[in-house]
């Protein structure tokens, strides 16, 4: 299909926007809202094409855009998500509030890509650039790399929720039959213990959010850890690549951050030894005390 380019008309200005043009665009959008980009320039008194106006607004003028340097946390998020999604800048941007896909793309190309290279990592594959082709993420032993992650996650859940909270909930998380967990099992994909657990937890979180009869976690729960405190970068990377989809991970993050911004920071509970294999998921013993069960 041949289409007339939108920006080839006579008298259409290109290049950098002036403050006056910005003001006209802002004023118009504040008055009329977004949309109707094709006719907007004429109505707003701008000699620009609609596409240019939309881009200027989306990438620069929108009031919710966060300017300034990227934080180390944002850097980590971008790198992790890039490892998972590749150059899907718009998808990555949805996880960084106030950052645009264009900004992330530029930041990646000018900073993060170089940083990975300096660390000896291929910015495309995120694997080490060396002759062996090793990724650096392979387990150092015969144990799967995800084992410690799943074990620690379960310990945290058990130790933080089990006593004061809903025993049924935790049991449900671990032994529940959710569509998500079943999909994972039916997909034929390699199903790591961590991803199995995460899928079950994520499925349960959906249940919490959508079923009014389900009491879920209590409001005084102070479980405010996030992934970065919870797991190593390697573990997070592994989770993102083995769990079913990004949405599930976001759901799980919702569980982990449950309790609200004002809740206290949890302290590390004494580490409970958890079997690295996740056989115990299937052999969950409801008569056992929650904390310290996983040995």
Partner DNA sequence: AAGGGCCTCAACCGCTATAGA
Partner DNA sequence: CTCTATAGCGGTTGAGGCCCT
Using only the alpha carbons of the chain, give its radius of gyration.
Answer: 24
Q: How far is the CB of 249 from DNA (least distance, A)?
A: 18
Q: Does 88 bind DNA (CB under 7 A)?
A: yes
Residues binding DNA: what is the number (CB under 7 A)? Answer: 39
Q: Which residue has the tokens 């000896």?
A: 120
Please identify, using beta-carbon distances, which residue of 95 and 184 lies nearer to DNA.
95
Using CB under 7 A as the binding rule, whether residue 1 contacts DNA is answered as: yes
Residue with tokens 């790399």: 145
Interface region with DNA, contact rule CB under 7 A, candidates 13-21, 115-123, 142-150, 234-242: 13-21
Does residue 105 interact with DNA by CB under 7 A? yes
User: Is there binding between residue 31 and DNA (CB under 7 A)?
Assistant: no
3 contributes a contact to DNA by CB under 7 A: yes
Is 28 among the residues that bind DNA (CB under 7 A)? no
Instruction: List the alpha helices (DSSP H) in the chain.
Output: 19-32, 40-44, 50-56, 72-85, 89-93, 101-107, 113-118, 147-161, 167-175, 179-186, 193-210, 227-230, 233-242, 246-256, 279-282
Q: By C-alpha distance, which of 14, 8, 42 is closest to 28? A: 42
Q: Does 59 participate in binding DNA (rule CB under 7 A)?
A: yes
Q: Is 71 in the site for DNA (CB under 7 A)?
A: no
Q: How many CA atoms lie within 13 A of 172 on its CB side?
A: 18
From 26, 60, 241, 275, residue interacting with DNA (rule: CB under 7 A): 60
Q: What is the smallest separation between the CB atom of 250 and DNA, expressed in angstroms?
A: 16
Tell me which DSSP letter residue 277 carries: S
Member of 23, 71, 106, 185 binding DNA (CB under 7 A):
106
**Residue labelled with tokens 């992330």:** 104
- 195 is a contact residue toward DNA (CB under 7 A): no
247 is a site residue for DNA (CB under 7 A): no
Where do we find the tokens 């930041």? 107
Answer for which of 16, 31, 190, 261 binds DNA (CB under 7 A) is 16
Is 7 a binder of DNA (CB under 7 A)? yes
Contacting residue, 28, 41, 44, 54, with DNA by CB under 7 A: 54
Residue 26 makes contact with DNA by CB under 7 A: no
Rounded CA separation 27/61 (Å): 11
Place of tokens 């907007």: 40
Q: Does the protein bind DNA through residue 110 (CB under 7 A)?
A: yes
**CA 173 to CA 291: how far, in whole Å?**
15
d(CA 28, CA 41): 9
Q: Which residues of this protein are in contact with DNA, per CB under 7 A?
A: 1, 3, 5-7, 13-17, 35-39, 48, 50-52, 54-56, 58-60, 87-91, 101-103, 105-107, 109-111
């Amino acid at each position: 299909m041949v289409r007339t380019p939108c920006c080839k008309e006579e008298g259409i200005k290109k290049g950098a926007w002036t403050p006056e043009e910005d003001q006209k665009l802002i004023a118009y959008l504040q008055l009329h809202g977004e949309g109707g980009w094709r006719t907007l320039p004429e109505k707003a008194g701008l000699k620009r094409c609609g596409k240019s106006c939309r881009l200027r607004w989306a990438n620069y003028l929108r009031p919710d855009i966060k300017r300034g340097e990227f934080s180390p946390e944002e850097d980590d998020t971008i790198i992790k998500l890039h490892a998972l999604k590749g150059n899907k800048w718009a998808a990555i941007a949805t996880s960084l509030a106030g950052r645009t896909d264009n900004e992330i793309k530029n930041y990646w190309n000018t900073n993060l890509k170089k940083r990975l290279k300096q660390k000896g990592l291929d910015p495309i594959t995120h694997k080490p650039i060396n002759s062996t082709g090793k990724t650096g993420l392979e387990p150092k032993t015969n144990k799967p790399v995800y084992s410690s992650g799943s074990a620690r996650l379960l310990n945290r859940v058990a130790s933080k929720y089990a006593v004061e909270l809903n025993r049924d909930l935790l049991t449900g998380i671990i032994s529940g039959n959710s569509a998500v967990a079943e999909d994972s099992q039916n997909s034929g994909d390699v199903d790591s213990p961590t991803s199995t657990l995460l899928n079950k937890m994520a499925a349960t979180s959906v249940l919490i959010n959508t079923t009014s009869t389900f009491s879920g976690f209590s409001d005084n729960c102070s479980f405010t850890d996030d992934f970065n405190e919870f797991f190593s970068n390697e573990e997070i990377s592994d989770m993102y690549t083995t769990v079913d989809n990004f949405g599930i991970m976001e759901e799980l993050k919702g569980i982990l951050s449950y309790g609200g911004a004002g809740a206290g920071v949890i302290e590390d509970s004494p580490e409970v030894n958890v079997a690295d294999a996740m056989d115990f998921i299937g052999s969950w013993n409801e008569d056992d005390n929650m904390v310290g069960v996983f040995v």
